[in-house]
Chain A
Amino acid sequence: MKPAPFAYAKAKSLDHAIELLARPDGEARLLAGGQSLIATLNMRLSAPKLLIDLNGVDGLAGIAVKSGMVEIGALTRHVEAERSDAIAEHAPLIALAMPHIGHAAIRNRGTLGGSIAFADPAAELPACLVALGGEVEIAGPRGKRTVRADDFFKGLFETALGPGDVLTAIRVPAATPESRVGFAEFARRHGDYAMVGLAATAQADGKGLGDVRLAYFGVGNIPLRARKAETKLTEGNIDDAVQALAADLDPSGDVQATGATKKHLAGVLLRRVAKQLMEQP
């Protein structure tokens, strides 16, 4: 299908984008990589009146490590993160997740900020952000603010972003020698959205793990922490952690799998990811 008619404007700056967004009808959408947005326009799942193209706005792309945090500009493309030495070294969870996101042609265009702002419940990056305990930087009509990942994802495709807001960057704590990360997902075809996925972080604590954070995706409306399983994993018991998932997760079925299948797969993933967390040097 073809998109319904809309107007197109190229934002000259962040302020210009915010100014263009401030329409009384609220029917403007930001265009970043467009790899989800244009698909939804083509399918007429949405029909905004105005697209504001952020591509070309200076200062929104790039990867920087400062004050113990890795800052990734919203317009940074997946391919840049995938090939970044800074990401591999300081944000290894994102490096692990990157090859699972879309396909080469998608990663050449898609942006990290776009993926977080779109908040697809089956997408990899929102779960990574939650697992890492990261934060989101937002610019809006009333200035800038920072929102923690745990507070950012509100509901199905719903985030802390207001209609006049632009997501400008994400920040995650830079890895330390004690950091452990794990990532696994099931998808029918490599690069497709996951049926179930798991992004995890922990801190090495002697021979065990501390501060385990398990963020599942594809099993709810937002990335979901499996808190009871986290506790069990901290106690070092993988079997108990898998058992605990029964209380943590209650996925609905979708076109890809039933809720029961997803629940089973969540346990399989937990075993794989627990192994990754425990086996890192």
Chain B
Amino acid sequence: MEFVLQLIAILAVALGTFLSTLGVLGYIRLPDVYTRLHAVGKVGVFGVVGLLVGAVVWTPLGVGKGIVLIAFLLLAGPVTAHSLASAAYRIGIVPVGLIRDDLTRDLEAQPALSASQTSQPPDPAA
């Protein structure tokens, strides 16, 4: 039993470290804010969760805390990536190789959807 738990911990830690390295490599090499966000999401969702699976099977008293932290990470990772991508779009960063932009068309058709429409920055000339 000890042997099997140690084997699971070794495999989980090795897989998590490998996926974290891949995510950081994508953060360094990819050309665009949006594609970089795609790579960074992999570190939070797969890398740390892999390490936590190892911690759940091998750390004493770590089962409940580990499962709570896994659930929190699986909820928080997509929310963070979505908010960062939305902020990047709204401050005007254009994706590389953009060929069709439905969100700008929808925001111009319905200005009430735009959050920044209600809070215009103060005019420096006034």
* A and B assemble together: no
B residues near A (Cβ < 8 Å) are none
A residues near B (Cβ < 8 Å) are none
